[in-house]
Structure 1
């Protein structure tokens, strides 16, 4: 591969990463007005549908497109390998069969699924949700085809378009349901319909771009289609690639099936259990935002991770990987501790009351564990260990499921928070252990500056507690004032934490050079170095 091709691939991958981060931020942000408009029970209804919608989005954005991109790159240059007849039609047919089967399964089994979850009123919601699977073939085929040509912009544009349309329609529907006081279960239908329209918008963008350079073949000979290879790659590689993007989704999916029945078994009435799950789900957008912050640097580095890079430039490779893990650890740790400190105020600000604050503070620990797991898993995937990391994530799902069944009937949502932490702790442990086995020279713990970390944490904790003691009561009178207070504390507390990390040398020069605005950071570092010498 030439230098220009490598640069093009890197730019495309970074563009896709940026679109993914923007979409995740949008996905986390819209849930706050959604809960405000529909209440905890409306939020519960949405969260019972969301994991299925999320799985569909991952399949159409990461799983199947990755498999199609792989097929396209491996068949490039072969006679008839990229034509409508030999490539697009067979893959589209396979996708239709796979996703059509998922549609039929969910549509037919919606009554059983709703009864299993413990809420028969969700039957019609799940049937409408099933329709979204029918749009996956169009989205996945076109995205995978573009990515196989190293053209990431169409995927990025369609992803952002899909999310913007979906969020706009969902919030509009929530406003209508709230103002007209419609049946709260309508929010589930609205979520499914908004996702369907969003998928249509994303597919339309891709189709227009595809028509500009649609392949045309004049070959008349019969081309043998490698059906076994196509099906095997779509089923195995596509499903595994999708699973590697589902860490938080699989945890929520386990809650969908086990939390409501467990809460009812603990002694709560159904209405109380629904509200309790809605309160528990308040933690999801905040955990998602924290995880995006903690793992975004690792995602941006994904294009630099490969076995070839490890063999050709081992020193540089280890520098990048060590930096990715180090930044993920420091940022996620700061986000976790900071959010624990201000969670009561954030809960009141975002969700209008402080219900569930103690349990959600416990759940916030997931940010650190999930960020490290995602970062380590991303590196392992880049090195080619895709199936292994998928297996680890699947294991975390079953641990969460079993722990929920054991703990929730006795401890309520506290049990579910503990189950989430347990599953992510084990996932974090096995991914880091596997990374240590594959990259023995990484030595992450040896490069963590314990002194700088403890000073930064101590300074942030003392500052935030001091500000709470002095100012918190002054900003409780209105939501607007509380917003200003939370923003001020978050920015200044986070800034103090990062300042202490830099001042006390948590990073070396090479690591700082990998960051945005590295010129200014290095200037600060050198200024500190001169002062010490004087």
Structure 2
């Protein structure tokens, strides 16, 4: 853990501090990006055999899974949404003023709080499953066993997430990233094993297969929690040493620690549930609007709902998770700078965060849009409607990611009330445009309405950061322009590969779709990497290693 430069240090101490903070951000982003990316990719790849084993019931199964998971995600985020980020923020602040002991007490008391919250939220979801399914599940009785399977996971996930937040407060992103990946591995293994056994061995009911697939959330969480416990046990001697050498000037009662956790967590909970609330709004309104407007049958509506709420969402969240990785990394760093009243560092960190976000998000989103047709075929089967929805989702992912990063930055700077206000305004905009968007765009309507609402909230947040912290967006324009140009070139090159290969390959074959995706991604990725290295834009992400890559690839 680096210390802030003392007042009597030379002026270049500020430069060293900024460079150190930038390196922390890049390292942390790399770990969290890798963990999120691998977890999301694994969470998408399982869909291929899963859909095959579900057979003709796959679309209905996807819709049921999405309905159950959206409700579960809301409960999960209410139970834990703000606590990891709040703990990370507070521990980082205490560590900055050499009060490591207070931060560790905060963590231990937080475990008691999250255990209670986990048990309470799990009981509410289990015993209230009938009422919740009627209100948000479209009255589908199949949602009830799915919710009860997920209620079990709610018991332990809050404490697991708190432990991740503890490590993030020390800027140790590896435990969080690795545990995230382990959680996904165990979840997918159980999920696929249970589905194969029920559908292929027992020739059983697809609803039971979906129920067991959602219970896999508990299996993954348990494995992740055990790994985090091992990390904590190994680092306990170092943690005890840091606590022993603390200033120990702060004496904070237990009740105040609990109050601090809750007060800090509430804004994070509100914002972390933003995407889930938008999804629940779609879940509650899409079916009634479609029935009232077009008199569509429920089975058809479920198929359309699955296209955007499960199929496209699963793939697009791979990209959005990259934005979340950056956001998680930046919060404790901003808290350190805010505690030290270092406005110069704050402005630099904000500008770096936006540049890193755009560097990853824009080419990722455009690249996914370029390969939407073979990618959708690979995971769900050939579908023109599915391809169109995935393309739209890929573009709207940029706005979802922007809101994720902007809200995290504001929370790291204790601008909680403002970002909550901006979010509520964005939600109101979503409510206003929801019906006309669905009326004119059908299944794409909810995606466009969400994008409009979150764009309004994001623009207000960006303006707030400019006014109060002096973020110089004009200074970012040269890099932003290069990122846009390189991303468009990436999109064009990947789209041309897809277009050309569709002439010589069967675009409806999953195997050949896989080949097309791999080749298109390889070409598009190579184009972006070449221009990013040649323009030195890649140096923002990987630092000095970019010089080595340029030498090896003979890029001038």
Which segments of 5 or more consecutive residues in structure 1 lack a partner in the other structure? Answer: 217-223, 529-534
**Match status 1:194 vs 2:248:** no
Where does residue 485 of structure 1 map in the other structure?
Answer: 516
Instruction: Output the CA distance in 2 between the equivalents of 1:192 and 1:103.
Output: 14
- What SS does the corresponding residue of 1:495 show, helix, strand or coil? helix
Where does residue 219 of structure 1 map in the other structure?
Answer: none
List per-residue Cα deviations over 1:455-507 (Å, max 9, x = no partner).
5466445544544454322121643232112211122123324534665x5x6
Contact residue 494 and residue 524 of structure 2 kept, 8 A: yes
Instruction: Output the CA distance in 1 between the equivalents of 2:480 and 2:166.
Output: 47
**Match status 1:172 vs 2:204:** no
1:61-100 aligned within 5 A? 63-68=82-87, 91-100=110-119
Where does residue 131 of structure 1 map in the other structure?
Answer: 152
Contact residue 335 and residue 367 of structure 1 kept, 8 A: no
List per-residue Cα deviations over 1:76-128 (Å, max 9, x = no partner).
99999799xx8788645543443333233323332222122312331232233
1:189-268 aligned within 5 A? 189-207=211-229, 226=253, 228-246=255-273, 248-265=275-292, 266-268=294-296
CA RMSD of aligned residues (A): 4.4
1:296-375 aligned within 5 A? 296=325, 304-306=333-335, 308=337, 318-354=347-383, 355-375=385-405
1:475-514 aligned within 5 A? 475-476=505-506, 478-500=509-531, 505=535, 512=540
- What SS does the corresponding residue of 2:142 show, helix, strand or coil? helix
In the superposition, the TM-score normalised over structure 1's length comes to 0.79
Task: Evaluate the alpha carbon distance shift between residue 138 and residue 467 of structure 1 in structure 2; reply closer, same or farther with a 3 A threshold.
Answer: closer
Contact residue 403 and residue 419 of structure 1 kept, 8 A: yes
133, 138, 149: which one aligns with 1:114: 133
Contact residue 13 and residue 303 of structure 1 kept, 8 A: no
Deviates more, 1:91-100 or 1:354-363: 91-100
Where does residue 273 of structure 1 map in the other structure?
Answer: 301
- What SS does the corresponding residue of 1:282 show, helix, strand or coil? helix
Instruction: Output the CA distance in 1 between the equivalents of 2:28 and 2:261.
Output: 23
197, 201, 204: which one aligns with 1:182: 204
Task: Evaluate the alpha carbon distance shift between residue 329 and residue 161 of structure 1 in structure 2; reply closer, same or farther with a 3 A threshold.
Answer: closer
Q: 1:387, CA displacement in angstroms? A: 4.6
**Match status 1:45 vs 2:74:** no
List per-residue Cα deviations over 1:56-88 (Å, max 9, x = no partner).
6657776323445566678899999799xx878
Instruction: Output the CA distance in 1 between the equivalents of 2:116 and 2:466.
Output: 40
Contact residue 71 and residue 230 of structure 1 kept, 8 A: no
- What SS does the corresponding residue of 1:178 show, helix, strand or coil? helix
- What SS does the corresponding residue of 2:155 show, helix, strand or coil? helix
Where does residue 420 of structure 1 map in the other structure?
Answer: 450
Task: Evaluate the alpha carbon distance shift between residue 374 and residue 517 of structure 1 in structure 2; reply closer, same or farther with a 3 A threshold.
Answer: farther
Contact residue 370 and residue 492 of structure 2 kept, 8 A: no
Q: 1:526, CA displacement in angstroms? A: 11
Instruction: Output the CA distance in 2 between the equivalents of 1:392 and 1:207.
Output: 37
Equivalent residues, number: 516
Instruction: Output the CA distance in 2 between the equivalents of 1:465 and 1:314.
Output: 44
List per-residue Cα deviations over 1:371-422 (Å, max 9, x = no partner).
3223333333333324533554455455445543554366431221221221
**Match status 1:102 vs 2:121:** yes
Task: Evaluate the alpha carbon distance shift between residue 257 and residue 33 of structure 1 in structure 2; reply closer, same or farther with a 3 A threshold.
Answer: farther
Contact residue 65 and residue 214 of structure 2 kept, 8 A: no
Instruction: Output the CA distance in 1 between the equivalents of 2:131 and 2:447.
Output: 27
Where does residue 30 of structure 1 map in the other structure?
Answer: 46
Q: 1:287, CA displacement in angstroms? A: 1.4
Instruction: Output the CA distance in 1 between the equivalents of 2:182 and 2:442.
Output: 39
Instruction: Output the CA distance in 2 between the equivalents of 1:319 and 1:4.
Output: 15
Contact residue 346 and residue 469 of structure 2 kept, 8 A: no
